[in-house]
């Protein structure tokens, strides 16, 4: 099993080395999935009794690889029939060619992004400049970006709504899960969540510097927050945003969020909109 651990770590590191790739667990503890812009290209099962990886694949190659390694490379074990030509499952107990395995991971990644629209590919290219960091609410860069967020909100809605009543809901000491985005070493975007209840987290403090907007960075931060929350066992995300913040509404709507009745502390606040998304 010691050798398995080394291979598992090598697979994880290699999957994450691809542009825009991040870890997610949308189906529970296993499989460990690797996504790009919300789409899966690899699914790793590291259990001792089910040591396999399922990779996206072009149909012609998927059939060829099954012929070359009968019983070792098979159709995606969990996929419905219509999707099985596009996925291969490799039995890692029986497959020892790591170089070829990494080649198939490359092909899985390419198979995914080659089907992206030009707009999505452009956004992925922009994200190549960005580095992401997982931290907490006391990180100085998070503090800086939150200050910019509050200044921007004051400019947009401060004259119409009394924003001070929201400050009690945005205290950083209650936020333990933060994602920061950097461009050339400068913090340019952030997002966070905090526990709401056993199944829900509340998305907080999502901000993108004006110079970095219109490249999909806000949506990417949200996707990564959702993936992190799901890894930690949560099933839903909820959030509150200002009724006047149309750009934020559109971003969350595109990310799959739906408007719900105002929850908890936001009940009765007419200037707020609450939303939720199952992750």
Per-residue pLDDT at 212? 93
d(CA 159, CA 272): 15
CA 261 to chain centre: 26
Q: End-to-end CA distance of the chain: give it in Å, rounded.
A: 32
**156: pLDDT strictly greater than 90:** no
Paired with 45 in beta bridges are 52
Q: Looking at residues 212-231, what average pLDDT do you find?
A: 94
Name the pairing type of β-strands 87-91 and 130-135.
unpaired
Burial of 28-55, coded b for 16+ CB within 10 Å and e otherwise, reads eeebbbbbbbbebbbbbbbeeeebbbbb
pLDDT tens-digit series, residues 43-85: 999 988 889 999 999 999 999 999 999 999 998 887 777 777 8
Per-residue pLDDT at 141? 97
Residue 91 banded pLDDT, cuts 50, 70, 90? very high
Per-residue pLDDT at 168? 54
Percentage of residues in the chain having pLDDT higher than 70 = 92
CB 65 within 8 A of CB 101: no
Give every CB contact of residue 181 below 8 A, 6+ residues apart in sequence. 130, 131, 132, 133, 187, 188, 189, 190, 208, 212, 217, 220, 221
d(CA 8, CA 75): 21
Per-residue pLDDT at 166? 55
Q: Looking at residues 130-154, what average pLDDT do you find?
A: 93
**177: pLDDT strictly greater than 60:** yes
Give every CB contact of residue 163 below 8 A, 6+ residues apart in sequence. 150, 153, 154, 157
Per-residue pLDDT at 4? 80
**167: pLDDT strictly greater than 60:** no
d(CA 33, CA 214): 27
Q: Looking at residues 231-250, what average pLDDT do you find?
A: 91
d(CA 194, CA 172): 10
Per-residue pLDDT at 173? 63
d(CA 252, CA 246): 10
pTM: 0.86
Per-residue pLDDT at 271? 84
CB 203 within 8 A of CB 225: yes
Mean pLDDT of the chain: 90
Residue owning tokens 């149309």: 246
Q: Looking at residues 224-234, what average pLDDT do you find?
A: 96
Q: What kind and span of H or E run contains 187?
A: strand 186-195
Domains of the chain: 1-121 (3.90.1150.30), 129-278 (3.40.630.30)
Of the candidates 117, 115, 67, which has an alpha carbon nearest to the alpha carbon of residue 88?
Answer: 67
Per-residue pLDDT at 1? 45
d(CA 156, CA 163): 11
């Amino acid at each position: 099993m010691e050798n398995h651990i080394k291979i598992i770590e090598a697979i994880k590191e290699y999957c994450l080395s691809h542009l825009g790739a991040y870890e997610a667990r949308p189906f529970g503890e296993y499989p460990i999935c690797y996504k790009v812009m919300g789409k899966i290209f690899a699914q790793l099962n590291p259990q001792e009794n089910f040591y396999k990886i399922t990779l996206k694949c072009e149909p012609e190659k998927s059939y060829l690889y099954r012929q070359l390694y009968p019983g070792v490379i098979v159709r995606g074990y969990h996929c419905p029939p219509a999707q099985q030509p596009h996925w291969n499952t490799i039995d890692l107990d029986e497959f020892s060619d790591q170089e070829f395995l990494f080649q198939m991971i490359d092909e899985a990644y390419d198979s995914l992004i080659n089907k992206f629209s030009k707009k999505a590919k452009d956004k992925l290219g922009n994200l190549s400049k960005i580095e992401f960091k997982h931290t907490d609410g006391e990180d100085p860069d998070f503090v800086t970006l939150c200050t910019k967020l509050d200044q921007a909100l004051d400019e947009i809605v401060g004259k119409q709504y009394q924003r001070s009543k929201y400050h009690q809901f945005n205290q950083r000491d209650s936020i333990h899960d933060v994602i920061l985005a950097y461009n050339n070493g400068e913090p340019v975007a952030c997002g966070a969540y905090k526990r709401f209840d056993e199944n829900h987290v509340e998305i907080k403090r999502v901000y993108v510097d004006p110079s970095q907007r219109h490249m999909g960075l806000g949506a990417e931060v949200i996707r990564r927050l959702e993936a992190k929350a799901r890894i930690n066992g949560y099933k839903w995300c909820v959030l509150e945003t200002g009724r006047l913040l149309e750009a934020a509404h559109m971003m969350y709507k595109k990310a799959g969020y739906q408007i719900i009745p105002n929850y908890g502390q936001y009940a009765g606040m007419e200037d707020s909109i609450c939303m939720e998304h199952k992750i």
